[in-house]
């Protein structure tokens, strides 16, 4: 958000110039990055590739001293989170109208709405994700492309705010315009920042438990799981070889499937790019190229995720 997308709107060429051109925004970005890293480190043992998390719980839980320190850090950065929302909502975003399907996970269901009608919500169980999300491979790309029930899909911050509540009216978001994914990301920063404080306060008021919940003994040997990652819904399906499962055995995976957020977003990136070309056809080529680059950055695609 700060180093890839905001430079487009702040009149700078690259994120590394943010410190010189807008030192206040740069300091807020570093403060928010630092506290988010500290959250992951406190919960997961380190801020990259956590080690204390486990299926069913945690090998080790944070101490109350660690949580109090983190709560203090969150209180100190609350203003930075609010200011980020104000900054992003105060920017002028390019005009664009695209009819897309916005999808997000709600508990154990996939919820989807149309960008033109967010009141018309459709839900389906996560376990049936293959019926809803279709992937295809195209000869011009090494990435996969995903659609939701045959329609181009947008997942991530903007989709979540469309599905989860009245954020569109509260913040005047345009769900037909993918450029608004950036202010949606800023809004989520403040929401999650506030939620983190609430969670820590509840943990400090209760007892911390490091027990691991035993894994399921489901005889099907098939596991399907989904989580709402920052970029959108992430789906995993794993099939174990029944003969290899059990205590002291290797638990060999014989089949696996992963659908990443970027795979789902690629179809809407293409549709949005075509719409942008049509809606800006009378503008100079350099201006159109600049807007196309901004559009892709607004989606925040992940290169490695695109080829799963």
Question: What integer pLDDT is reported at residue 18 of this predicted model?
Answer: 86
Within a domain: residue 254? yes
Q: Distance between CA atoms of 143 and 259, rounded to whole angstroms?
A: 12
Question: What integer pLDDT is reported at residue 11 of this predicted model?
Answer: 84
Segment holding 35, helix H or strand E: helix 23-44
pLDDT digits (tens, 9 = 90+) for 95-109: 999 999 999 999 999
DSSP β-bridge partners for residue 66:
none
Side by side, which strands form the sheet with 222-229? Answer: 222-229, 232-240, 253-259
Within a domain: residue 292? no
Within a domain: residue 72? yes
Q: Distance between CA atoms of 111 and 123, rounded to whole angstroms?
A: 4
Question: What integer pLDDT is reported at residue 210 of this predicted model?
Answer: 60
- Return phi, psi of residue 220, to 5°: -75, -20
Question: What integer pLDDT is reported at residue 296 of this predicted model?
Answer: 95
- How many domains does the chain contain in total? 1
Within a domain: residue 83? yes
pTM score: 0.90
Question: What integer pLDDT is reported at residue 304 of this predicted model?
Answer: 72
Residue stretches of the chain with pLDDT short of 70: 209-212, 215-220, 245-250, 306-308
Tell me what percent of the residues of the chain surpass a pLDDT of 90: 62
Closest by alpha carbon to 231, among 256, 264, 206, 255?
A: 264
DSSP one-letter string for 151-179: EEEE-SHHHHHHHHSSHHHHHT--TT-GG
Within a domain: residue 215? yes
Contact 18, 10 (CB under 8 A): yes
Closest by alpha carbon to 230, among 300, 126, 135?
A: 300
Contact 162, 175 (CB under 8 A): yes
Question: What integer pLDDT is reported at residue 241 of this predicted model?
Answer: 84
Closest by alpha carbon to 290, among 1, 92, 7, 8?
A: 8
Within a domain: residue 87? yes
Within a domain: residue 101? no
3-class secondary-structure state, position 308: coil
Within a domain: residue 11? yes
- Return phi, psi of residue 90, to 5°: -90, 0
Question: What integer pLDDT is reported at residue 196 of this predicted model?
Answer: 95
Question: What integer pLDDT is reported at residue 233 of this predicted model?
Answer: 95
Question: What integer pLDDT is reported at residue 48 of this predicted model?
Answer: 86
The residues, ordered by sequence, that sit 6+ positions from 188 with a Cβ below 8 Å of its Cβ are 157, 160, 161
Q: Which domain range does residue 245 map to? A: 5-91+205-259
């Amino acid at each position: 958000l700060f180093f890839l997308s905001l430079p487009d709107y702040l009149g700078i060429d690259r994120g590394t110039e943010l410190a010189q051109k807008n030192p206040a925004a740069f300091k807020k970005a570093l403060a928010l990055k630092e506290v988010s890293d500290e959250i992951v480190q406190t919960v997961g043992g380190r801020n990259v590739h956590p080690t204390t998390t486990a299926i069913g719980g945690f090998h080790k839980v944070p101490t109350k001293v660690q949580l109090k320190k983190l709560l203090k850090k969150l209180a100190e950065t609350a203003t930075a989170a609010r200011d980020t929302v104000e900054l992003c909502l105060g920017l002028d975003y390019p005009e664009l109208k695209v009819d897309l399907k916005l999808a997000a996970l709600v508990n154990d269901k996939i919820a989807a709405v149309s960008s033109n009608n967010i009141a018309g919500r459709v839900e389906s169980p996560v376990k049936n994700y293959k019926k809803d999300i279709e992937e295809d491979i195209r000869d011009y790309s090494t990435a996969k492309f995903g659609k939701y029930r045959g329609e181009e899909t947008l997942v991530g911050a903007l989709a979540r705010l469309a599905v989860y509540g009245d954020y569109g009216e509260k913040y005047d978001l345009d769900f037909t315009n993918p450029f608004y994914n950036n202010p949606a990301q800023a809004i989520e920063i403040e929401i999650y920042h506030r939620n983190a404080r609430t969670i820590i306060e509840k943990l400090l008021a209760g007892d911390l438990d490091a027990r691991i919940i035993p894994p399921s003994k489901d005889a099907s040997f098939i596991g399907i799981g989904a989580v709402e990652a920052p970029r959108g819904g992430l789906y995993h399906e794993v099939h174990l070889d029944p003969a290899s499962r059990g205590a002291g055995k290797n638990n060999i995976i014989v089949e696996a499937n992963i659908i990443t957020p970027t795979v789902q977003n690629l179809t809407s990136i293409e549709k949005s790019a075509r719409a942008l070309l049509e809606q800006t056809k009378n503008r100079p080529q350099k201006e159109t190229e600049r807007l196309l680059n901004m559009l892709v950055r607004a989606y925040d695609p992940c290169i490695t995720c695109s080829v799963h």
